[in-house]
Homo-oligomer: A and B are copies of this chain.
Amino acid sequence: MTQRGLLIVLSGPSGVGKGTVRKAIFEDDGVDFRYSISATTRQPRVGEVDGQDYFFVSKEDFEEKIQAGEMLEYAQYVGNYYGTPRSFIEETLASGRDVFLEIDVQGALQVKSKMPEGVYIFLTPPDIKNLRSRLEGRGTDSAEVIDQRVEAAKDELKKMINYNYAVENDVVDLAVDRIKAIITAERLKVSRVLDQIAE
């Protein structure tokens, strides 16, 4: 009877402003997402609450969850594991609430391989479409430097092809509006509406 929630994955190159956009989305009154809670093997810091800031688990538990396919993605950082538990997301989606996950490109691709039905949004730097003409117009970089910067941008953009949507982060509020439009549209997709009517 309950319509399944959407998994919304916001990703993009480092430094593009994923955290700022995520924060603005969660401050928006028109939005009611559940933020995906990560699991980690590091010790809780003062004030951190298990099941709220993180799921704090032992190294053995974490490795068991990896083996059981319970981690949608994970990575090691300064000797500790960090990862995204599948069960929390599955239960939240089943309850009808949307889950929002902000994650780097490598993590997003791992999640996508396991939950391809999610909505994968790639946040791009402003003006990437006009990068070359913008650099040339500025007249401060050599042709060689411009070529290098355009090549670097191309490498970033090649990752975009794995995503469903590309959102330019020119102005944070505009990026948020675009993401909200994407989510509205995704809910109206015939495939999702028919699933809902089918019950």
Contacts and interface: CB of A to CB of B under 8 A. Distances in A.
Contacts of A185: 165, 178, 181-182, 184-186
Interface of A: 122, 128-129, 157, 160-161, 163-167, 177-178, 180-182, 184-186, 188-190, 193-194, 196-197
Q: Is the interface of A mostly helix, strand, loop or mixed?
A: helix
Contacts of A167: 188
Contact of A196 (B129, B164, B178, B190): B129
A185 B128 CA distance: 19
Contacts of A161: 190, 194
19 contacts: A128-B197, A129-B196, A129-B197, A157-B194, A160-B190, A160-B194, A161-B194, A163-B190, A165-B190, A166-B188, A166-B193, A177-B184, A178-B184, A178-B188, A181-B181, A182-B184, A182-B185, A182-B188, A185-B186
A189 B164 contact: yes
Contacts of A178: 184-185, 188
Contacts of A166: 188-190, 193-194
A82 to B, nearest CB: 27
Contacts of A122: 190
